Amino acid sequence: MTQSVLLNFKEEQNLYHDNTLDILGGAFNFSHEKGLAEWLKNSVDAYRRAGESDKDQYIIFGFTDGTSDNPPVIECTDFVGMDLVDIEKAFKWWGDPDAAKRGKKIRVYGGHGNGGKFYMRQMFQQSYFITYKTGKINIFGFNENRKYGFANGIKDKKVSIDEALKMAGINKLLIPNSILRKLEHGETGFTVVKGIRPKKIVGNKLPVFRICEKLKYHPQARSPLKYCNVSVLYNGKILTNSLRMEEIEPMEGFEGPYLFDIPELIDSSTGENGKKIKMSHDKYEEGSLVLKTSAQPFGRGGKKPELNCVDIVGEIGVIASYNMQQIGFLKYYPQAQYIYGECKCPILEDVDYDCVQNDREKLVTNERTDSLLKWISEKIDEVAEKIAERDAKQEEEKNIRATDEFNQILNKWKNQFMSKLFAEVLGGPGKGSSTGGEGEDGSGGGTNHESEEKGGLGSGQGKGGGDGEEKKKGLRAPMVLLSGQEDPEYPGSPVTFSDRHFAVEQRQQDVERGLYWINLEKPMAKKLIDKYGVDSPRWRNYLFQRYVDIFTKETIYRLAKKEGGTLTAEQVDYEIMRVASLVYDKATIDLEDFLLGEKYNNSSDENTEIE
C-alpha cells in the first residue's frame, strides 16, 4: 500500500438529516478494533454476495504511519468491488436491515448497514473508499465536515486495472495470483476503504500490534476471522498472512462442550408466579447454548478477558456479547472465569420483538432478553459448580498434603522432645518402676522364707524378686495422624470423624497402639483453612496446640498410673501448667520459625536435632 492524501469531495445531501446522523453517530465514537471489525464484516459480505467460498476470500488490513508530509492511514481491502448502483442504492442509505444482502437471499454479517459507514464518518479526519468493478472506478467518502460525496472527477470513471490499482495504492506483488488473474480478466474488482488521520491516536505512529491483538478477540470479528484469509500490512510490509484468534485449550476434565437447548418457554426474569416467556415459535426454531472451558482463566497467562463471555449469535454473526460480569448474578463467578460460549436464539431477530440494537453490542433490554440472560447465567453456574466441586476436592487434597507435612515436622519434634518431657515430669524411664514380685521358691528378702519385705537378698528363683535389676523399655512416644488418612494397620481404610468429635480423638483400638488423630472436620480447623490457608502461621499454631493437648493428656494418664490411679485436682492443675510451660519454652527454641514465620520452608529443619 502507498501513502494516501486528503481528497476534495463534491458534497451531497445525506438521505437522512445531518442532525439525525450526528445524534446516532455519537454512539459510534468507538474503538478502532470495533470499527475494523465492521469493515471486515462488510468485506466478507461482499464476497458472499459474489458467491465466493470462505477459502477464496482474501482481505488486507493496511496500516501506514504518518510523516511530516502525510497523515497516518488505516485501510481495508477486498477483491470484489462495487459499481455505481451499489453506491447509490446501498451505501448512501442508513438503517436498512437488508442493505448488506442487496436483494439476495443470502446470510450476511451486516446488520442495519450503519457500523462501517459510521466508523468512516466519526473516527477519521477524512475517509473514503476507492472501488473498481467492470472497468470503472469510483471514489466516495466523507470529508472533514462529515458530508459525503464523490471525489472530484472520480465518479464511474473508466480506467485500466493497472491504473486503478495505482490510484488505490495496491501493490500487485501482494495480490494472490488467482485473484490477480481474475482482476486482469475483468472477472472481479476491488474496494479499498481508507481512513485518514484516525482519531483517538496521538501522533503519527499507529499502535498496530495493540489494535490487531484486540481485533482478533472482538466479538464482531471472531467469527469472520475463523474462515476468511486476512493479512496485515504495516508500512508496506507483511506482519501476518493469517490474522485469527488462537485455539483455546480446554480445561482438563471439562473438555466439553456443554450443550443446552433453550426451552420453548422460560420463566420470567421478574419472578412473577407462573409467567412464561416464549423463546421459539413456528417461524423461529428453538435456540441453544454451547459452553466451553479454558485451561487458564481468562485475563491470565496471555488469555484475553474479552473471551470470557457469551456471544449471542444471530442468523449469521454476533448480535450481542456479554462478559461474565454483565450476564447476571453468578454464584460461582471465580469458576466462570474459565468459561466462554455462544447462544443461538433465532427469535431475538424477530422485528416484532425488538431485541437487536443497532450497534450489536448488547441486546435491547426487555422482558425476553432479561429472561434469556437469567437462563444463561443459570446454565453457566451449572458448569461452574462442577468446576468448583473439583477445585474444592483438589484444594482439600492440597491442604491435606501441606498439613501432613507440618504434622510430620511436629511428629519428629515430638519424638525427640517427649522422652525428655516425661523424664522431667515422671522422673525418668530408667530402671523399671515396678518393684518385683515375691520369690516363689527362694526367700523374698529379709530372714523369713516368704517375707513380704521386698528388696532383700532373696535366694529363690522368684519372677520379681530382688531390687528390679531388669530394666523396662523407655516410654514410647505416641503417633499422631490426621483424620482422613489411612489406619496404619488397615491400609485402604481412611479414618474420618465428624465435627461433633473432639479436636483430638482416640478410638478404642488406638489406645493400646498409642495412636492419636487430629480431627480436621472441626469448625475451627475448617474456618482457619478457609480464611487464612494451610500456609498461614495461624494454621500451624492450631496443629501445634493439638500436640500440646496430646502432651498434656499423655502426661496426666502416665502420672496417674505411676501414682496408683488417683490424682487430686490440685495435682492435675499443677501438671497441666508444668507441661504447658515446658512445651512452650522448648518450642520457642526449636519451632520459632514454624510457629511464628509468615511463610515456612521446612527444608531447613530436615536435619534439626532437639537438644
Per-residue pLDDT tens over the stretch 482-513: 988 888 888 888 898 999 999 999 998 888 88
Task: Say which residues have a Cβ less than 8 Å from residue 372's Cβ, sequence separation at least 6.
Answer: 262, 266, 277, 279, 343, 345, 348, 363
Task: Say which residues have a Cβ less than 8 Å from residue 26's Cβ, sequence separation at least 6.
Answer: none
Residues 531 and 331: their CA atoms lie apart, in Å, by 19
Q: Which residues pair with 198 in a beta bridge?
A: 124
Domain annotation covers residue 30: yes
The pLDDT assigned to 547 comes to: 92
Q: CB atoms < 10 A from the CB of 118, how many?
A: 23
Find the range with the poorest average confidence among 351-365, 443-457, 518-532.
Answer: 443-457
The domain boundary, picked from 240, 274, 298, lies at: 240
Which pLDDT band holds residue 103 (cuts at 50, 70, 90)? low
Contact 517, 504 (CB under 8 A): yes
Per-residue pLDDT for 328 more than 90? Answer: no
Find the range with the poorest average confidence among 193-197, 424-428, 550-554.
Answer: 424-428
Residues 61 and 39: their CA atoms lie apart, in Å, by 10
CATH code where residue 170 lies: 3.30.565.10
Total domain count for the chain?
Answer: 3
Residue 109 and residue 167 in one domain: yes
- The predicted model gives 265-283 an average pLDDT of 85
Contact 74, 125 (CB under 8 A): no
Q: Which residues pair with 137 in a beta bridge?
A: 132, 157
Find the range with the poorest average confidence among 203-217, 273-287, 310-324, 447-461.
Answer: 447-461
Which pLDDT band holds residue 17 (cuts at 50, 70, 90)? low
Residue 336 and residue 298 in one domain: yes
Residue 325 and residue 276 in one domain: yes
DSSP code per residue over 197-243: EETT--SS---HHHHHHHHHT-HHHHHHHHHSEEEEEETTEEEES--
Peptide bond into 334 cis (omega under 30): no
CA distances from 225 to 35, 123, 192, 242, 304 (A): 15, 23, 18, 9, 16
**How do residues 540-563 score in pLDDT, each as one tens digit?**
999 999 999 999 998 898 888 888
- The predicted model gives 224-250 an average pLDDT of 92
Q: Which residue, 423, 406, 249, 421, is CA-closest to 338?
A: 249
- The predicted model gives 136-142 an average pLDDT of 94
Domain annotation covers residue 452: no
Report the relative pairing of strands 339-344 and 309-313 from DSSP bridges. Answer: parallel
- The predicted model gives 439-455 an average pLDDT of 39
Residue 218 and residue 278 in one domain: no
The domain boundary, picked from 240, 273, 305, lies at: 240
Contact 422, 555 (CB under 8 A): yes
- The predicted model gives 229-255 an average pLDDT of 93
- The predicted model gives 520-524 an average pLDDT of 92
Task: Say which residues have a Cβ less than 8 Å from residue 382's Cβ, sequence separation at least 6.
Answer: 258
The pLDDT assigned to 432 comes to: 36
Per-residue pLDDT for 262 more than 50? Answer: yes
Domain annotation covers residue 463: no
Residue 158 and residue 198 in one domain: yes
Residues 3 and 75: their CA atoms lie apart, in Å, by 11
Per-residue pLDDT for 39 more than 60? Answer: yes
Domain that holds residue 593: 389-431+474-605
Domain annotation covers residue 271: yes
Domain annotation covers residue 94: yes
Instruction: Supply 550's cell numbers.
Output: 496430646
Residues 119 and 36: their CA atoms lie apart, in Å, by 8
Residue 368 and residue 502 in one domain: no
Residue 355 and residue 427 in one domain: no
Helix axes 32-49, 208-216, angle to 10 degrees: 60
Contact 439, 465 (CB under 8 A): yes
Report the predicted TM-score, pTM, of the whole model to 2 decimal places: 0.64
- The predicted model gives 362-367 an average pLDDT of 91
The pLDDT assigned to 534 comes to: 87
Residue 365 and residue 394 in one domain: no
Residue 77 and residue 165 in one domain: yes
Residues 147 and 126: their CA atoms lie apart, in Å, by 10
How many Cα atoms are found within 13 Å in the side-chain-facing hemisphere of 167? 23
Which helix (H) or strand (E) is 278 found in, with range? Answer: strand 276-278
Per-residue pLDDT for 443 more than 50? Answer: no
Share of the chain above pLDDT 70, in %: 82
Instruction: Supply 490's cell numbers.
Output: 488397615
Q: Which residue, 79, 57, 93, is CA-closest to 133?
A: 79
The pLDDT assigned to 19 comes to: 61
Per-residue pLDDT for 235 more than 70? Answer: yes
Q: Which residues pair with 323 in a beta bridge?
A: 309
Please give the span between the terminal C-alpha atoms of the chain, in angstroms, as a whole number: 81
- The predicted model gives 31-58 an average pLDDT of 91
Average pLDDT over all residues of the chain: 83
The pLDDT assigned to 189 comes to: 96
Which pLDDT band holds residue 352 (cuts at 50, 70, 90)? confident
Q: CB atoms < 10 A from the CB of 163, how many?
A: 13
The domain boundary, picked from 350, 384, 418, lies at: 384
